[in-house]
Structure 1
Amino acid sequence: MLNILYDHQIFTMQHYGGISRYFASIQSGLEKQPDIHFNNGVLYSKNYYIKDNTYLPSYLSKVFLKKDRSIQKWNRKYSEYLIKKDNYDVFHPTYYNPYFLKSIKKPFVITVHDMIHELFPEMFEPGDVFVNYKRRCIENAAHIIAISQSTKNDIINILGVDENRISVVHHGFRPQMSVTSDLTDSEKKQDYLLFVGDRKGYKNFPRLATALTPFLKRNPEIKLVCAGGGAFQSAELELFIRLGISDRVQQISASDETLSRLYKNAMAFLFPSLYEGFGLPILEAFQNDCPIIASQTDCFKEIGEDAIQYFNPYEESSILNALEEVVENKQKALTLVNRGRQQLQKFPMESCIDKTLNIYRTFGQKK
């Protein structure tokens, strides 16, 4: 029996999110392996993906762990206790805090999701500790999982890590629930373009909004819908006023089911990031037959290949031209959708789980 220990970090930090979903999906796959046992190192979490898989029952947790600060404190204590107990073969921290280095005695594997902080330091606070945390984890790990070849290349180029210490394991994708093709009245008033997730910094949202303005003004029946990412902030609202598109941009806090409907009914999904480590929304759009218009980054080209209409994310004219080529050409949009269906087949969740399990087995046997 191979014993895998995870820690609390990402399940404490996120209620929803790509990284916590990644770990929850792997754990779900391990449950089906007769020779594998795992502990996720969590006393209690508000995370959507593991809400039924924590140590304390929810009714006790709601009494004793009401505040997020208390949840973080006791989850860390619980993870530290399990690490010191040493009853595992491989440890897989779920984020980069290296608190465990002082007490760990077994091999650990770290997943690196991107090198955004290292490549775009100007977009983060000077006191951000996670660049240091990540480097320390990478230097001490028995093995490193990179979620794309692009991310592996960045780890090698930035930190000088031996490529033999890194395995590329793409995110797997398990098709979500099927949804009806119709949005509710509150979700869809007219045709729309879709943007998903956070809008800060390297996500390149202000440039996207600026690039889309001529198109939106020529097509008053079309809106830009932003799913997730929180309500628009004051600087964003001011940008919309200056561009003259305040009535053309809408923000929706979307559940997974609502998000699927938004993809399915959108004219196109726009992904203008300057950099990503993988780009899970690409696979979500593929599943829901939504044509994708995205940055010509190495990562997106690796994941999307010829199933995406690419643009230069630094040039507003390139963004606008790519958009017009897709939404004004139904055959082009259909071609992208058909290619997307085929491309999605290259990222089964089973492959992600199997490759990760092989890494656990390799380093769990090196006693």
Structure 2
Amino acid sequence: MRNLVHKLRLFEVSLLFFCCFPLVIDLKIKALIAILFGLLQVFLIFFQPYKSKSKGVLLPFIMVLPFLYLLVTLLYSSNVDQGIKSYERYSIILIIPWVFYANRSYFNGATLKKVFAFFAVVISILVVYAVSTMIFAGTFHEMLNSKAGYYIVRTKFESVTGLHPTYFSIYAGIAIVGLVHFVINTTKRKYHFPVFVLLSILTVGLLVASSKMLIFSTVLSVIFVVRKYLKQRKYLIISGFSILIIAVLLISLKPTRQRLTEFYSAITTKSVDHNNPDGMRKIIYSSSVDAVINNFWVGSGLGDEQNELNKIYSIKGYDFAVEKEYNTHNQYLHFTLVGGIIGLFLFVLLLLTHLVIAKISNNDLYKAVLIIFTLSFCTENILNRQDGIFVFAFFTALLPYASWKSIEGQVFVNGKFLKQKLTGVQRFAGEIINQFDKNKIQHKIIRPNQKNAIWLILWEQVLLPFYLLVCGRPVLVNLCNIAPVVYPANIVIIHDLAFLENKNWYSKPFQLWYNYAIPRVALKALRIGSVSNFTKNELLGHFDIPSYKVKVLYNGIPTFKSSLDIDEPIVKGNYALSVGSINKRKNQETLIRAFLENKDLPVKLVLAGSIDEKLFGDSDLTEKINTAENIEFIESPGDSELINLYKNADLTFYIPFYEGFGLPVLESFYFKKPTVVSNIEVFNELYSDFAVFADPNDVTDIADKCRETFNNRHSIIETMNDQEGSITNRFSYKKTALELYKLIKPLTF
């Protein structure tokens, strides 16, 4: 049966079948289409081609949540019967997100193209039928000879199609942007002419329907879709020319010209013309706002919203509005009136969730359709009729799950490091991304838009996991120790556990945060990368983590230097260079004391790094550095400065009390500079072949090793040259990136 289902392409057939609903006028037949579609989707659940890697029910839950909340409002509605009758319309919007979620493995890019193309053909057929009927009925001739030509055309159009012009315009707008997106993304010229014909037909239909907001939103969506396919100047010229043509058409055609005239009259006069729809909207919106204020927190309840509006109309003397029972004509106001601020929040959350998925999946068609919906909601209660609910439920469920398919298999990277100060941890992240690019490993960096430290934590711990959970819960690669604590699909690189070694090395807020976050991240992570065996053993010792979850992924020989040339030396004379963040753990204080107490050393000390006293606690290191005669400090050097400093140094120091890897040691090796390092476990693991070891607590030993290394620097350099092949092979960012990808791949494909 499974093979037969796939051979007949029943999933695609069911989608195309549903796209035929605009051709049906009878509401009972439309309801039958919805029921048959739902039953077929349930049937298809049992014959899926494979088990989808995309997971998480947060998206379908958010998609139905605003409408479930409307059901809750019936508890305090005084007109429950009317509320239940209204709620029956939402049944399909509660079903489609779940059946599409269950059938998400069926979706692919080709399915989306077929659906939009078929929908465009369906709407074009409807336009041809409606316009030809109106021509033969003499509607357009009657329009030209009547002052109410606009109303004659719209009324006839609605009677022929069975659709309110606003709803038809939504259909036409979606069809147009779908065709435009298709034609600019296809290389097959054979499709250009039929697409042009369909676009022409749909444009005629859009102009005949004469819905101002939908014409505007469609034009805006089309401009948005084509923006990145044209050079800026060409794009601006074409966009401006298109807008000019549309403006001329709007002014030239009688129905649209009449609509524009009425709109201008409505906004420039204080009186209300009952025959001017735009004038009526002024009293509708002002009355709706008053009704919302009266029911701000929890709303009126579903079924009572029209009674609340009618009360305001009566108070203001708008008896004709009471008689016509004008609704809010704004979907946002409707949700606020019915469900209060909570109802509005849930509805806006739904729209923002769609925007997040469209942005992360880089789906311009999705974004364009959202533009049409969000703008049309400003002028109509689109979801108060079955025609609006059908199209909204269908396309806002179709597009996100198709986007999930495009996301499947991608490597997602936590991009917080791009907004942080550059230290060894951030440099590791940058090098891995560089290797992903070079080795054509598909990845997507999700990055915050601000640098504020508090904001970065909120972004990483709240917004980032939300983004990912509504995008199918893809695997997230976190390259800099921390990951979203609540997110269940993390791969995290942990560089060290220094915060557990000595609480005095860090500020109290930092210590509290890392003590809370790191254990939880480590325990929940799918896989952990550690930058040394030392760090791996620390992880296994401190946390109850199975050994198979932790993979050693070394730092590599830095690559950022190869493309930059050396300039005039920044520092004159002989000097020893120490690179790294200036803080207690890095132990620059002992190094400074060694140089202060041994003025006869053959070199002066140059410290290069950043001092973050706010993060690492109060320190008087700055004062000691500034007052020393044989010590220079270069704060936060860029790549070119760092290259200059390394190339002109006689030797380097890196003597921290505790370290997870010690990237500056590899940087020194790259430049073939003799290196004095701390005699600690991790450095004995990594650098015993070429480094000189010193006691990080012994000022005398540090000074002695400085003299010894300076005097023997040439023989040490020869040893480093002999070791270059093995060291370069052992410490390679390419090797590390590929090993990391091996961890990721089984979890994403």
The normalised TM-score by structure 2 is 0.41
Alignment match, 2:568:
183
Alignment-derived partner of residue 62 in structure 1 = none
Q: Which residue of 1 aligns with 2:575?
A: 192
Q: CA deviation at 1:361?
A: 1.2
8 A Cα contact 1:193 1:225, kept in partner: yes
The reply to whether residue 16 of structure 1 matches residue 422 of structure 2 is yes
Residue 38 (structure 1) aligned with residue 420 (structure 2) = no
- Return the alpha-carbon distance in structure 1 between the equivalents of residues 433 and 685 of structure 2: 26
Take 1:205 and 1:353, find their aligned partners in 2: how far apart are those partners? 32
Q: Deviations over 1:21-51 (max 9, x none)?
A: 32233233333556x53221115367xxxxx
CA distance 1:31–1:180, shift in 2 (3 Å): closer
Alignment partner of 1:10: what SS? helix
Task: In structure 2, list runs of 5 or more residues that go unmatched.
Answer: 1-407
Contact 2:625/2:633 (8 A) holds in 1: no
Write the distance in 1 (CA, Å) between the matches of 2:575 and 2:413: 41
Q: Corresponding residue for 1:124?
A: 506
From the superposition, tell whether residues 334 and 133 of structure 1 become closer, same or farther in structure 2 (CA, over 3 Å).
same
Q: CA deviation at 1:317?
A: 2.0
C-alpha deviations, 1:223-279, integer Å up to 9, x for none? 2111122499972355468xxx72211111321121112111111100010111111
Q: Tell me how far apart the structure 2 counterparts of residues 336 and 44 of structure 1 sit (CA, whole Å).
A: 47
1:83 is paired with a residue whose SS is: helix
Q: Which moved more, 1:152-161 or 1:130-139?
A: 152-161
Q: Could you say which residue in structure 2 is the equivalent of 1:115?
A: 497
Residues 168-224 of structure 1 show CA distances to partners (whole Å, capped at 9, x for unaligned) of: 01112343225555534xx12221111112121111111111123344x115x7321
Which residue type is aligned with residue 27 of structure 1? I
Q: Return the offset for 1:72.
A: 6.8
**Contact preservation (8 Å) 1:196, 1:229:** no
* Sequence identity (%): 20
Is contact 1:3–1:87 with CA below 8 Å preserved after alignment?
Answer: no
1:32 to 1:223, Cα distance in 2 relative to 1, 3 A: closer
Letter in 2 for 1:17: T
Superposition deviation, residue 95 in structure 1: 4.3
Matched, 1:347 2:725: no
2:577 is paired with a residue whose SS is strand
Instruction: Give the 3-state SS of the residue equivalent to 2:446 in structure 1.
Output: coil
Distance in 1 separating the partners of 2:553 and 2:535: 11
Task: Provide the residue aligned with 2:412 in structure 1.
Answer: 5
Greater relative CO, 1 or 2 (CA 8 Å, sep 6+): 1
Alpha-carbon distance in structure 2 between the residues aligned to 1:199 and 1:299: 20
Select which of 577, 580, 584 maps to 1:201.
Answer: 584
Q: What letter matches 1:42 in structure 2? A: R
CA distance in 2, matches of 1:152, 1:297: 16
- Select 2:529's aligned residue among 125, 129, 145: 145
What per-residue deviation string (whole Å, max 9, x for no partner) do you get for residues 79-111 of structure 1? 23421223454222344555451xx45x32111
Change (3 A) 1:311 1:195: same
> What is the Cα deviation at residue 326 of structure 1?
0.9
Matched, 1:259 2:666: no
Q: Deviations over 1:3-30 (max 9, x none)?
A: 2222243333x14222223223323333
Q: What number of residue pairs does the alignment pair up?
A: 333
Task: Please state whether the residue corresponding to 2:575 is helix, strand or coil.
Answer: strand
Contact 1:93–1:109 under 8 Å retained in 2: yes
1:294 partnered with 2:701: no
2:531 maps to amino acid:
I
Spell out the pairing of 1:323-342 with structure 2 (5 A cutoff).
323-339=706-722, 341-342=724-725
Distance 2:548 2:653 in 1: 35
CA distance in structure 1 between the partners assigned to 2:653 and 2:481 by the alignment: 30
Which residue is equivalent to 1:90? 475
Distance 1:99-1:361 versus aligned 2 partners, 3 A rule:
closer
Instruction: Report the CA distance shift for 1:139/1:289 in structure 2 as closer, same or farther (over 3 A).
Output: same
Structure 1 residues 93, 306: closer, same or farther in 2, change over 3 A? closer
| Structure 2 residue 689 is matched with structure 1 residue 306 | yes
Counterpart-to-counterpart distance in 2, 1:146 and 1:83: 24
- Cα distance, 1:352 vs structure 2: 0.5
AA in 1 matched with 2:739: K
SS class of match (2:435) = helix
- Provide the residue aligned with 2:664 in structure 1: 281
> Which residues of structure 1 form unaligned runs of 5+?
47-66
In the aligned structure 2, how far is the partner of 1:33 from the partner of 1:199?
35
Residue identity opposite 2:477 in structure 1: H
Alpha-carbon distance change, 100 to 203 in structure 1, aligned in 2, over 3 angstroms: closer
Partner of 1:247: 629
Once structures 1 and 2 are overlaid, which stretch shifts more, 125-134 or 355-364? 125-134
Check the 8 A contact 1:308/1:336 in 2, yes or no: no
Contact persistence 1:10–1:20 (CA under 8 A): yes
The 1:10–1:43 alpha-carbon spacing in structure 2 relative to 1, beyond 3 Å, is closer
Q: Which has the higher helix share?
A: 2
**CA-to-aligned-CA distance 1:53-86 (integer Å, 9 cap, x gap):** xxxxxxxxxxxxxx77667766776523421223
In 2, Cα distance between the equivalents of 1:261 and 1:311? 26
Residue 28 of structure 1, aligned match among 426, 434, 439: 434
Q: Distance in 2 between matches of 1:295 and 1:189?
A: 27
In 1, the alpha carbon distance for the partners of 2:483 and 2:565 equals 44
Match of 1:222 in 2: 603
On the 8 A contact 1:179/1:261 being kept in 2, the answer is no
